[in-house]
Amino acid sequence: MSRPFPYTYVSCPCADTPVPDPARKRKSREGSQKQTPEQGEQTAGGDSKDSTNNEHKEDSDEEEEEEEEEEQTFDPRSPRSNFSMYPPEQLLYCEDCHQIKCPRCITEEIVSWFCPSCLFETPSSMVKSDGNRCGRNCFNCPICTAPLAVSTIESVTGGGSQQGPWVLSCSYCMWTTLDIGIKFDKPTNIRSQLQKMTDTTAAPPFDTRTRQGSRAFADLKSPLSNLASVDEQAGNREAPSDQHITKQDQTATPSNAEAQFAALKSFYRNQISETSTSPSDPLGSDFGFSSPGALNRLMSLYTSSTRLGSLYGGNKKAKSKPPVMREALTPSEGLRISATPNPDPVISRLRSAEGGWDGVASIAQRAEQSPDVRFTDDLLPLPVLLRTKRAKRCKACKHILLYPAAVTTAPGSPSSTSAASAPSPNPDLNALTPLRPIHVLLTLKNHMFDPVRVTLATPSVTPGRVASKVTVLSPQFDIGANSDVWDEALQGASAPLTTDPKLRAAEKVPEAGKVWDKGRNWTTVVLEVVPGTLPSSDADAGGGDGEVRSGAGSAPAQPDEDVLEIPVFVHMEWDAEGQLEQQDVGKASKPDDLVARELAYWMVLGVGRIQPSF
């Protein structure tokens, strides 16, 4: 384990009992309802049957596992447990399900977008049109990614005139927009100014109108090419596309990346709809490329020999030939060919002193830029990418577990009870002496506003080959409710002195059945641990041969086998105010609106590393 000793991990119960996902269930049910009446085919019918079977199986599994759980000791070394152990700070508690939630039982949801530079939020409606980037004056340096500052040349030299050309400048690598020959007329709306300078689509209204017209024309054209399926494909396609090129090239070649992307997107959407809805499809299904049925169909193409035969054998019949998706052929469809018919100027620029190695943009720099960019002189400033604030929801009940506050404030701490352990006599945790008892102080803290009864259980001997003995000296205890921090401070000013653990440790002796220490919302108990002996040293002791020390044991020690990890089963009960009428009200309801709640989980204490020899 990578954490320094001592550490604690909490095992999320989701690893053993898969969280029943209502959404998944609903989906599968809907699916079965939908598919079976439509076409009683073997695939759909089989699916629905399988899914219902699975549900039953899952349910019964859950029950079985719950029963098993009571008996089984959690083994921190089993390969499975690796996937369920989380440090307490990564876990959340769902107040609706009354369960611990690990990152795998949580879905994230984007609450808002904000710019990491100006910290302003962007409304979700604007995010897409802004290309996920800040629409204000936030830019990153295309050379070194440092933030660019808007500065004026005149005011620096001329003293406070605040006029004249403005530039974006990087105060880290000294790049300015003057390096690419760009200056701005005003210090606001830099993004739109820059767009106007470099973007053809945001040009005069006349231009946009023709563009729209051309798009409409392209749309008109698509049914035509739709007709041009199977048989006429080859002959028919050339004519309209040629016509297309000549008509539209001057006016409506999508010259920036967004327009090109839009053209390609609409082109391929047309292609998909054409090829998949064709009546000549041998499978005759209405699965699109995006539907899961498409995968089914593809798989069955390869598996069933009869279909393969029909596919290839049926070639004689023209209608069984599947329509072929073609690629974009014209600029209006989004085709783009490199605009350097003559490479000589580029080569000479590479050779020149001005270009050279330093003048060529690096791959990291080009990745963010238009694909044509080759030299650092062509790099444009990059508007800052937006970031998201996300809420965390419980996967099972969709209850919001964590909601981000304003950017500057911290999210609320998870309301689960966290634990931290500290050993009392301060031995070297990276070299524990075998068979010498140590006392481990385990402090449990309560973040809830209700007092909690806790029961701790550990196996008397840790699982695995290195058997260490563990005893919890006071397995049952109470933890006070969390309250205002000021209460403790006001109760007694001298309290901190007496509760200083160092002072107490010197005089106190751990006693069975007694808690070590107790505070407002925390309790410390003692675990007595006798570290076991490692296999190799065990062999030494048995054989009595002191010289055969390294690797003489029956099996070589596994990596990290010397780590002393104690599984602890924590069970806690408390009376909560029944705030919502849930089905578990009936569990153990008390007259005065109090509901008994319980939470149980396995926890792993990493105490230290056992020394190989005495």
Instruction: Please report, as ranges, the residues that interact with another protein according to CB under 8 A.
Output: 114, 116-119, 141, 143-147, 149, 153, 155-157, 159-160, 162, 165, 167, 169-183, 197-200, 203-204, 207, 255, 358-359, 362, 364, 370, 372, 376-378, 380, 387, 407-410
**How far lies 375's CA from each of 159, 320, 350, 489, in Å?**
35, 51, 9, 64
- The DSSP bridge partners found for residue 572 are 454, 599
284: nearest Cα among 309, 313, 305, 307 = 307
- Least distance from C-beta 92 to another protein, angstroms? 16
Query: Going by C-beta distance under 8 Å and a sequence separation of 6 or more, which residues neighbour residue 474?
Result: 512, 513, 514, 515, 516, 525, 526
Q: Which is nearer to another protein, 289 or 375 (CB)?
A: 375
The residue among 149 and 576 lying less far from another protein, judged by its C-beta, is: 149
Residues with Cβ within 8 Å of 484's Cβ and at least 6 positions away in sequence, in order, are none
The nearer residue to another protein, 19 or 194, going by C-beta atoms, is: 194
Taking the complex as a whole, the smallest distance from the CB of residue 495 to another protein amounts, in Å, to 18
Q: Are strands 166-170 and 438-445 parallel, antiparallel or unpaired?
A: unpaired
Q: Whole-angstrom Cα distance, residue 492 to residue 489? A: 6
Nearer to another protein, 141 or 448 (CB): 141
Looking at beta carbons only, is 250 or 306 nearer to another protein?
250
Considering the complex, state which of residue 182 and residue 530 has its C-beta at the smaller distance from another protein: 182
- List the beta bridge partners of residue 114: 121, 387
Q: Give the torsion sign (CA, 346, 351, 353, 356).
A: positive
- Token digits for 595? 């509901």
- Rounded to whole angstroms, the Cα distance separating 225 from 232 reads 10
At which residue do the structure tokens 């390969």 appear?
Answer: 79
Whole-number Å distance between alpha carbons of 584 and 600 = 16
Residue closer to another protein by CB (options 55, 378) is: 378
Cα distances (angstroms) measured from residue 191 to each of 187, 207, 243, 377: 10, 21, 37, 19
In DSSP terms, 568 is beta-bridged to 603
- Residue closer to another protein by CB (options 49, 247) is 247
Q: Minimum distance from CB of 413 to another protein (Å)? A: 12
Closest distance of CB 84 from another protein, Å = 26
Smallest distance from another protein to CB 377, Å:
6
Q: How far is the CB of 336 from another protein (least distance, A)?
A: 13
**In the complex, least distance from residue 367 CB atom to another protein, rounded to whole angstroms:** 12
Sequence-separated contacts (24+) of 72-77 with Cβ below 8 Å = 73/459, 73/463, 73/567, 74/11, 74/567, 74/569, 74/602, 74/604, 75/463, 75/464, 75/567, 76/9, 76/463, 76/565, 76/567, 76/604, 77/463, 77/464, 77/561, 77/565
**Which residue, 166 or 574, is less far from another protein as judged by CB?**
166
Q: How far is the CB of 176 from another protein (least distance, A)?
A: 5
5, 429 contact by CB (below 8 A): yes
Torsion of CA 101, 104, 106, 107, to 10 degrees: 180
CB of 116 to another protein, least distance (A): 5
- Residue 521, sorted as left (phi over 0), alpha (psi -120 to 50) or beta, turns out to be alpha
Least distance (Å) between residue 147 CB and another protein: 5
Q: Which is nearer to another protein, 140 or 443 (CB)?
A: 140
- Least Å from the CB of residue 354 to another protein: 8
Question: Which is nearer to another protein, 180 or 272 (by Cβ)?
Answer: 180
What tokens appear for 515 in the block? Answer: 């808690």
